[in-house]
Structure 1
């Protein structure tokens, strides 16, 4: 079947993408709300940056743990439960005046986000069918991209106009709409055991763990972690950089973040188109060009227009790689994609935690708001090195993973659940 005669992706894939949009808006909007949160709670920027780090840590720990705990549940049930928990966490965030409580609600939201992202990615790939892994993942990554284009600037604008709490209320409302859409449109089907209710949990777990015997999957995950740390080390402190270094008015920050989001859309479009053809080439080119974009951002940080242009290219290069990174992990996982998807989520979120922490550390040491960009460049170069090593390792024969002890075949042939 040619690309022109292939059926379109099922609507349910885009519904899951809508849910990912809500998750991404919540995760990323904190960067734009940092100035408001520091004023509201009387904390400094590095302290407020822990809201980003704690979310990433929750994603890191929550993804594999929640995946294993929900392994025998119908995936639609898991998605809906995660969405409802996400809503509750945001309502609690919006109604607290205590910074510690706010951090706790971000941790809860991260657990829900990790669960939704991991299971949602597997459902999307399975619904898409054979040979369309990167396309399905491009939709989920596209949810994050649209979050950067619309959600993050909108959240920043709401925070500036009506207080930071309004952004949390908006996310809760949009998530409620996405949960309703999932109730109506995402299939309610068999358990992950392929319909065999007698399959033991230990057998399912062994099958999922078998994918991690491959050294190449660990190198792929390390590349993901370093890349994401490079992105978030700089992105988390873009708003203060714009205001305090480039002299951009606080009212214009949302507009600059919109430009970053437009760059992200272009990046994910380019990356999604070519990721299925040669994922490794995509990874190497994206990492190399992102390092150059970060260097340009460093050199132009003191000039408003220079920073805006560099931010756009940072968005392009930072998101052109995401589908390829996820696609590689799915390809290595074979018949046991669920835990691999969750660990891939954890790798992204180790980077999400590490990046802001390193950025806050160098700012706290008095090295200035440009210092996180230097750290990001270093991390991007390290990611290139790991990717080159991975390319050599991937030339070796791939060991087969333990088959899932059920009626499931390969991921694209298994039931939707």
Structure 2
């Protein structure tokens, strides 16, 4: 894989760390800025909504900009937003910095997803996406626990400074590593924005975006509420929570890596095998959550299956949107973040039911079931045209 892909993944790691670590910092932020934890929680919602809205909007605005300069601008904006957030004493200002950071993150990821596909042969997009998304999975393994520990040790502001600092080597690497890209040549042959938006009328593109959103909803529905399962149902101490999150992240890294090897040529195999296993896994986790060993094992397995299936579907989005070279990444980003925003909301409604803290696990199973009920009758169509060059 080209070295610039790993530079992009480094930036995605910094951004993923910022997105996920906030959950562990909310009590400290609330206390420091004199707001309730519930009020502080809207920082998470603001980021997710900013990602959903920002991906297509910012990608449309930036579609004619030089790709290297665009990526550099987004990551420096992201770093600046975190630096400002780290020094402010106003919750309103912090909220604004999270919105700006989300827009920069959305724009960066939308452009990076498209750029990743252009750095490799047309039939290697799945592997390129796996490298890029490895930044997110490594963030769940190392960045998120590290950010939480840093916040506990030195305060939440230190965690924000750390994210800003992580962006700098990635920015320097992008400045050097993406330098040879022929942006002007690409811009001359790029379709009009109207034509790129018209790709959204393609049934197969809408289908894989929907399936990607459903699977990601299931992933984040359970991931968001794993802590009370660990400390409540399993009866483990709170120190086991980061261990469980790291296991989930490690599984996601394995899943993305494996899917990256096979999703380009055999997407139907990943969906046909991984989908039913993922469906079985969520109810199994709910029923065995009171046993620590099965809990820890299944968390790893579900992380692997969730990201294997999810990354395969997002790869299909890039293939199906091949006619929208500037906007394809934003469609994939939007699908990912609709899932990230909707999943926890659905899961939260189950906490007040008889299922209690296990409700999100059952909700994840239901979301995967819906995805498979849609996908399996249309599996041939979903997997048709493995290479971008044969998709119209």
What is the TM-score with the length of structure 1 in the denominator? Answer: 0.84
In structure 2, the partner of 1:361 is 349
Q: Secondary structure at the match of 1:247?
A: coil
The answer on 1:273 being equivalent to 2:252 is no
In structure 2, the partner of 1:141 is 133
In structure 1, the partner of 2:315 is 327
Cα distance in 1 between the residues matched to 2:294 and 2:27? 22
Number of aligned residues:
388
> Displacement, 1:396?
8.7
In the alignment, is the contact (CA less than 8 A) between 2:353 and 2:359 conserved in 1? no
Kindly tell me: are residues 160 and 397 of structure 1, through their superposed partners in 2, closer, same or farther at Cα, counting changes over 3 Å? Answer: closer
Cα distance in 1 between the residues matched to 2:377 and 2:47? 30
Kindly tell me: are residues 295 and 339 of structure 1, through their superposed partners in 2, closer, same or farther at Cα, counting changes over 3 Å? Answer: same
The answer on 1:170 being equivalent to 2:180 is no
In the alignment, is the contact (CA less than 8 A) between 2:214 and 2:367 conserved in 1? yes
Q: Secondary structure at the match of 2:122?
A: coil
The answer on 1:316 being equivalent to 2:304 is yes
In structure 1, the partner of 2:50 is 58
> Displacement, 1:310?
2.2
Kindly tell me: are residues 294 and 348 of structure 1, through their superposed partners in 2, closer, same or farther at Cα, counting changes over 3 Å? Answer: same
In structure 2, the partner of 1:237 is 225
Pairs within 5 Å for 1:27-46: 27-34=19-26, 36-37=28-29, 43-44=36-37
Cα distance in 2 between the residues matched to 1:246 and 1:222? 33
Kindly tell me: are residues 363 and 43 of structure 1, through their superposed partners in 2, closer, same or farther at Cα, counting changes over 3 Å? Answer: farther
> Structure 1: any 5+ residue segments left out of the alignment?
1-8, 399-408, 412-417
Q: Secondary structure at the match of 1:20?
A: helix
Q: Secondary structure at the match of 1:320?
A: helix
In structure 1, the partner of 2:359 is 371
Pairs within 5 Å for 1:130-209: 130-187=122-179, 189-191=181-183, 194-196=186-188, 204-209=192-197
In the alignment, is the contact (CA less than 8 A) between 1:141 and 1:322 conserved in 2? no
In structure 2, the partner of 1:215 is 203
Cα distance in 2 between the residues matched to 1:23 and 1:271? 22
In structure 2, the partner of 1:291 is 279
Kindly tell me: are residues 94 and 250 of structure 1, through their superposed partners in 2, closer, same or farther at Cα, counting changes over 3 Å? Answer: farther
Kindly tell me: are residues 179 and 332 of structure 1, through their superposed partners in 2, closer, same or farther at Cα, counting changes over 3 Å? Answer: same
Cα distance in 2 between the residues matched to 1:244 and 1:166? 30
Cα distance in 1 between the residues matched to 2:248 and 2:270? 20
Cα distance in 1 between the residues matched to 2:92 and 2:291? 36
Kindly tell me: are residues 375 and 52 of structure 1, through their superposed partners in 2, closer, same or farther at Cα, counting changes over 3 Å? Answer: farther
> Displacement, 1:394?
4.7
RMSD (CA atoms): 2.8
Q: Secondary structure at the match of 2:63?
A: coil
> Structure 2: any 5+ residue segments left out of the alignment?
none
In the alignment, is the contact (CA less than 8 A) between 1:154 and 1:254 conserved in 2? no
Q: Secondary structure at the match of 1:338?
A: coil
In structure 2, the partner of 1:5 is none
Q: Which is helix-richer, 1 or 2?
A: 2
In the alignment, is the contact (CA less than 8 A) between 1:279 and 1:327 conserved in 2? no
Kindly tell me: are residues 285 and 34 of structure 1, through their superposed partners in 2, closer, same or farther at Cα, counting changes over 3 Å? Answer: farther
Of residues 15, 21, 27, the one that matches 2:7 is 15
What is the TM-score with the length of structure 2 in the denominator? Answer: 0.89
Cα distance in 2 between the residues matched to 1:378 and 1:109? 32
Cα distance in 2 between the residues matched to 1:36 and 1:370? 27
The answer on 1:102 being equivalent to 2:76 is no
In the alignment, is the contact (CA less than 8 A) between 2:317 and 2:331 conserved in 1? no
In the alignment, is the contact (CA less than 8 A) between 2:64 and 2:187 conserved in 1? no
Cα distance in 2 between the residues matched to 1:87 and 1:168? 9
Q: Secondary structure at the match of 1:84?
A: helix
1:91-125: CA deviations, max 9, x gaps?
23333455444333222211111111111111121
